[in-house]
Amino acid sequence: MSTQVKSQSNIEIRQKIEDYYSTILALLSFISLATWKDGAVIPSSKYCLGRRMNTSINNKISPDTRVTPDAVIQRYDNLGYVVEAKKSLPLNKGDWDKTVSQLLKYDDDLSGWWNFDELIKENCTVLLIEMSRSVEFCDYLNQYLISNNLAFTKKFSVVEFGRADELTHYYILRTRSGNIEDKGFSETLHNGKKVEIEAVVATYGQKKFYDSEPVPEFTMTVIWNDIFTEMARNVDLDKNRKAYIFEVDLAKLTKDLQRFYGSRGNIRREAEFPKKAWVQKAFDGFLRLGYVELMEQDKYRVFFRHVRGDILEKFAKQQTNPKTKRPITNEKQLSLFEKSDQIE
């Protein structure tokens, strides 16, 4: 693979990672606005990333089935919001109708709310979309609805978001089209509101996953920097192999990632993420690079080193390495660490 192609691939991976994490921050920013009022959490409010809901038999797109919006928020016992988030859109506009179809699925008397009967008096649909794409998508959406003789029967709003860095990091949320229930909240979004990211993270935790699969390199980076780095503190450096060597169980590690950075899915209707299959793809990448050794099903021996330089660039190389069919030897693994990798 040429240097130019490699560089382009790395740029695409970085963009996908940026889109993924920005989507999470946008969702949490919207949740913070929807569940707080007058400087305090609304007592009856609830929220969930990736909550499983059910459509009614009258749903215009997918009757009597299950849908999983990016976020479900119950502001009051009688009012909720179903949220879909898009940081980026396909280059081919013909694929945008999939997003429109998804939004129309939510335009329904969905069940799955936190009320006793799992129903709610009023629910609104919200699309969170990055500012640079909001106008173009709204134009596309309006034309799609006209061309297909469709319309939203419940309140629907397109809310654009963007990052604004000053002395601290903010996300700006502002209504681009439509409106939603709750006059005060709707006016706040209409005028535009800055949300401090540090406050969001402090309130809702360091979420790094939501109910959508990221590129494997992102999962690899989270595991390497946040999980393996911590595990390496509990073992001595193997001076012969120049690595911190320890063993991990894939299923247990997946549960740790869910607990720290995602969702365990142990409450009814909550989604589980990251999924084990996502973590498996990350370990397939480690295996191709020689950073781990497969011992038996779900059991790996890790050869950890503190890496100097761009770790994402190193992980991106797993795409061009031949897939390993069997466990590899320690000697092979160690030879794949680059000389620029630094032991600390």
Averaged in consecutive runs of 10 residues, what is the pLDDT profile of the chain (344 residues)?
A: 58 93 96 94 96 97 97 98 94 90 97 98 97 95 95 97 89 96 96 95 92 96 96 94 96 97 94 97 95 96 91 87 51 43 40
Query: Would residue 341 count as lying in a domain?
Result: no
Rounded to whole angstroms, the Cα distance separating 314 from 67 reads 37
Query: Would residue 262 count as lying in a domain?
Result: yes
Asked if residue 238 and residue 104 are part of one domain, the reply reads no
Asked if residue 237 and residue 187 are part of one domain, the reply reads no
Asked if residue 166 and residue 141 are part of one domain, the reply reads yes
Backbone angles phi, psi at 241, to 5 degrees: -95, -10
User: For residue 283, which of 275, 273, 293 has the smallest C-alpha distance?
Assistant: 293
Query: Do 84 and 102 meet the contact criterion of CB atoms below 8 Å apart?
Result: yes
pLDDT at 272: 96
Asked if residue 167 and residue 224 are part of one domain, the reply reads no
Query: Would residue 43 count as lying in a domain?
Result: yes
pLDDT at 327: 44
Rounded to whole angstroms, the Cα distance separating 140 from 276 reads 36
Owner of token pair 């949740």: 31
Asked if residue 48 and residue 155 are part of one domain, the reply reads yes
Rounded to whole angstroms, the Cα distance separating 206 from 24 reads 10
Query: Do 249 and 299 meet the contact criterion of CB atoms below 8 Å apart?
Result: yes
Query: Would residue 148 count as lying in a domain?
Result: yes
End-to-end alpha-carbon separation of the chain, Å? Answer: 32
Give the angle 38-42-45 at the CA atoms, nearest 5°. 150
**Structural domain ending residue among the three candidates 204, 234, 254:** 204
Helix (H) or strand (E) holding 295, with range, is strand 292-296
Asked if residue 191 and residue 91 are part of one domain, the reply reads yes
pLDDT at 91: 84
User: For residue 292, which of 239, 344, 332 has the smallest C-alpha distance?
Assistant: 332
Asked if residue 126 and residue 74 are part of one domain, the reply reads yes
User: For residue 128, which of 73, 78, 66 has the smallest C-alpha distance?
Assistant: 73
Asked if residue 184 and residue 59 are part of one domain, the reply reads yes
Q: From start to end of 6-119, where are the E strands?
A: 36-37, 40-41, 46-49, 53-54, 66-67, 71-76, 79-86
**Structural domain ending residue among the three candidates 177, 204, 231:** 204
Query: Would residue 342 count as lying in a domain?
Result: no
Within 10 angstroms of residue 42's Cβ, the number of other Cβ atoms is 14
pLDDT at 8: 52
**Structural domain ending residue among the three candidates 146, 169, 204:** 204
**Burial grade of 341 (CB within 10 A; 0-12, 13-18, 19 or more):** middle
Owner of token pair 């909240």: 185
- pTM score > 0.95 for this model? no
Query: Do 343 and 307 meet the contact criterion of CB atoms below 8 Å apart?
Result: no
Boundaries of domain holding 169: 3-204
How crowded is the C-beta side of 307, counted as CA atoms within 13 Å? 18
Asked if residue 68 and residue 173 are part of one domain, the reply reads yes
pLDDT at 19: 95
Asked if residue 275 and residue 168 are part of one domain, the reply reads no
The number of domains in the chain is: 2
Query: Would residue 344 count as lying in a domain?
Result: no
Query: Do 271 and 50 meet the contact criterion of CB atoms below 8 Å apart?
Result: yes
What totals of helices (H) and strands (E) does the chain contain, helices first? Answer: 11, 17
Asked if residue 322 and residue 239 are part of one domain, the reply reads yes
Query: Do 28 and 70 meet the contact criterion of CB atoms below 8 Å apart?
Result: no
Asked if residue 222 and residue 83 are part of one domain, the reply reads no
Give the angle 50-212-7 at the CA atoms, nearest 5°. 155
Within 10 angstroms of residue 219's Cβ, the number of other Cβ atoms is 23
Q: Measure CA 311 to chain center.
A: 20
Query: Would residue 192 count as lying in a domain?
Result: yes
How crowded is the C-beta side of 216, counted as CA atoms within 13 Å? 19
